[in-house]
A and B are shown apart, each in its own frame.
Chain A
């Protein structure tokens, strides 16, 4: 019955002191906005890592030469990754469905009077499937093309632009890689920049062509392996490690001279990082809410003192303790919830700014909004309690006499 009236009175007294109310709410506003933004950034980061991994192939395991970076500084001198390793894996590991060797090097590529420097990758015909590419123009080279060392090139989606040719028109053109002429037979779909490298700025050529005609080596940069649907990745990784150790003749107890990485592992690391980061910022947000709460308590105490006479009048007219307490609690609550609501708006704006200006994907989490709002309600109740009790406990006569 009196709740509506009490809320009205609370808003009235906040309106009467707008600037003060605003300053009081600042702590809560900042705290809530921080929570919303941080969680939005965390969720966004999570999503973009997931999306990136899916675009790279979620069940793709990558094998690279060199020691695991956790086992010490990676050094040269271990056995390199070779086409023989790739052949052995395909032959002996039953839990995998495809092996994609990659031999890559940055090369001068010339087309007409255009001269660019891109990554040239010697690989097999299954590369686009394993790495979730499609062919937008022309076709991929075949296993037969690989066997016969054809000078065919399939270019990334950025390459036509770099060579100043429309994608459709590049098919059938001749480009030279290290002065060796190649015919462009296909264009790959677009992946988008991955930060440290752009997978759209590469040129695929058959592995054997690369090995015997361009690079003159059997050293691979990496081997990508597709795991069979029904096999756990961990199982496949164990199998791969066993065969690799045998191929590289590593004795029991010896350190691997290669690394096996799964995207899930990468995902887990990314998750860990985001969590640590979020926990840190959330604790800052928590402190800010705490400070906001103390600010509200402080102002409520001032308000109780200032309004001693009013409290006396209300008591004389029949307000019980619980009613007076309710009045001041609701006032604190209204302050906090208004601050919380403004904080949510500010947090949303900040998330937009972060994603617009910094290009960081953000995603507002409804849970974070509710938790932040709930927490500001809690702050209001908790820090409003003491001032409210003080108001309720005032002696009516003394309160009436207060000037």
Chain B
């Protein structure tokens, strides 16, 4: 990975001229096809989006419109069938598995609908996990994980296991885990999908606080009142961007 030697600024300078220098995410004609036997499912059919530093973006669209596929692509969990994708100037479309794993570790913080915490590990151990793979020392891990848990308001629940926490608290642990390696971007795929509306509001308030502190966040939702927390909404339909702007369009989920 010779590219890693360069600074982000140097990498950004090498991007096409029409791309803003503070773009965290740039996709060009991004496509993803799944081959199911003789059938080909076109989950993404050419998506062009640019997301700048410190944006809070909601991705919306009906079920099956390709939201999760796009998030997986942005999160480097999956690679496009076609098209290009730059994350912080890294041309992700040409990286190998291990390089993708390192990018997921350093640049990306995931928040999932089903929390995806390790059931046997304490809140603290769960939050420490990304730093284990970053190779941080035990002391540093502990300090940063404690700090992240305090940030999400769980300073007094560090030694609890997921099954000893409520849904909202679990999602807070997941958010602390996403934050802890200080990523370029936080990706949340329907983070409130498994939560009641009161808890959803609390979680959204937490995302807004993080955004106010300068964090770049993309979140997927099909609930307009959740999406309303974001200044920019991107609506997908049938694997294409239907609308991208600051006015909330009515979606039929």
Give the B-binding residues of A (Cβ under 8 A).
1-2, 5, 12-13, 16, 309-310, 312-323, 396-397, 400
Instruction: Give A322 Cβ to nearest chain B Cβ, in Å.
Output: 8
Minimum CB distance partner of A400 in chain B: B116
- B132 at interface, CB cutoff 8 A: yes
The majority secondary structure among interface residues of chain A is: helix
**Cα-based distance from A22 to B224 in the complex (angstroms):** 53
Q: Is the CB of A318 within 8 A of B105?
A: yes
Roughly how many angstroms separate A320 CA and B134 CA in the complex, as a whole number?
A: 11
Q: Which of A310, A312, A318, A396 contacts B102 (CB 8 A)?
A: A318
Q: Check A317 against B77 for contact (C-beta < 8 Å).
A: no
The answer for the CA separation of A360 and B117 in the assembled complex, in Å, is: 57
Q: Is the CB of B104 within 8 A of A318?
A: yes
Determine how close the nearest CB of chain A comes to the CB of B140; give it in whole angstroms.
12
Query: What is the bound-complex CA distance between A312 and B78, given in angstroms?
Result: 12
Q: Is B165 an interface residue (CB 8 A)?
A: no
Give the complex CA separation of A5 and B121 in angstroms.
Answer: 13
Check A317/B177 contact, CB under 8 A, given A2-B135, A5-B132: yes
A319-B101 in contact (CB<8A)? yes
- Report A39 CB to chain B, min CB distance, Å: 40
A397 touches B77 (CB 8 A): yes
Residues of A within 8 A of B77 (CB): 315-316, 396-397, 400
A320, B98: Cβ atoms closer than 8 Å:
yes
Bound together, the chains give a CA A253 to CA B150 distance in angstroms of 102
> Do B101 and A315 touch (CB < 8 A)?
yes
Min Cβ gap B75→A in Å is: 8
Once the chains bind, are A317 and B120 in contact (CB under 8 Å)? no
Given contacts A16-B120, A316-B110, contact A323 B104 (CB under 8 A): no
Of the residues A2, A13, A317, A322, contact of B104 by C-beta under 8 Å: A317
Contact in complex: A318, B135 (CB < 8 Å):
no
A313 touches B106 (CB 8 A): no
Q: Enumerate chain B residues within 8 angstroms of A12, measured Cβ to Cβ.
A: 120
Bound-state Cα–Cα, A79 to B90, Å: 102
> How many whole Å from B189's CB to the nearest CB in chain A?
10
Per CB-CB distance, the 10 closest pairs between chain A and chain B, nearest first, are: A318-B105, A318-B133, A320-B101, A317-B130, A320-B98, A1-B135, A396-B77, A318-B104, A313-B116, A319-B133
**Hey, which chain A residues are within 8 Å of B132, CB to CB?**
2, 5
In the complex, which residues of chain A have a beta carbon less than 8 angstroms from the beta carbon of B97? Answer: 320-321
Given contacts A2-B132, A2-B135, A397-B78, contact A320 B120 (CB under 8 A): no
Q: A316-B77, A321-B101 are in contact. List 9 more A-B contacts (CB 8 A).
A: A12-B120, A313-B117, A315-B77, A316-B110, A317-B110, A317-B129, A317-B130, A318-B106, A320-B98
Q: Mark B113-138, 1 if CB is under 8 A from A, else 0.
A: 00011101000000001101111000
With a CB–CB cut-off of 8 A, which chain A residues contact B102? 318, 320
Complex Cα–Cα for A12 and B121 (A):
9
Closest to B107 in A: A318
CB < 8 Å neighbour of B101 from A2, A13, A318: A318
Residues of B within 8 A of A323 (CB): 133
29 contacts between A and B (CB under 8 A): A2-B135, A5-B132, A309-B116, A313-B117, A313-B118, A314-B129, A314-B133, A315-B77, A315-B101, A315-B104, A317-B104, A317-B110, A317-B130, A317-B133, A317-B177, A318-B102, A318-B130, A318-B133, A318-B134, A319-B101, A320-B97, A320-B98, A320-B101, A320-B102, A321-B98, A322-B98, A396-B78, A397-B72, A397-B78
Contacts of B78 in A (CB 8 A): 396-397
A322 to B101, CA, bound (A): 11
Whether the Cβ atoms of B112 and A400 lie closer than 8 Å is: yes
Measured between beta carbons, the chain A residues less than 8 angstroms from B101 are 315, 318-321
Chain A, Cβ-Cβ closest to B72:
A397
In the docked arrangement, what's the CA distance between A16 and B121, Å?
11
Q: Please name all residues of chain A whose beta carbon is closer than 8 Å to the beta carbon of B130 when the two chains form the complex.
A: 317-318
A163 to chain B, nearest CB (A): 76
Could you tell me the distance between the alpha carbons of A396 and B97 in the complex, rounded to whole angstroms?
A: 10
- Return the chain A residue nearest B135 by Cβ: A1
What's the Cα separation between A2 and B138 when bound, in Å? Answer: 10
Cα of A63 to Cα of B217 in the assembled complex, Å:
99
List B residues 49-89 near A (Cβ within 8 Å). Answer: 72, 75, 77-78
A378 to B116, CA, bound (A): 35
**CA separation between A16 and B119, bound complex, in Å?**
11
Task: Compute how far the CA of A160 lies from the CA of B116 in the bound complex, rounded to whole angstroms.
Answer: 85
Q: Bound complex: CA of A12 vs CA of B98, how far in Å?
A: 26
Residues of chain A contacted by B134 (CB below 8 angstroms): 318
What are the residues of chain B within 8 A of A315 when measuring CB–CB? 77, 101, 104
Provide the bound-state CA to CA distance between A320 and B133, in Å. Answer: 8
Residue of chain B at shortest CB distance from A396: B77
Which of B75, B101, B135 has the most A CB atoms < 10 Å from its CB?
B101
Residue of A nearest to B141 (CB): A5
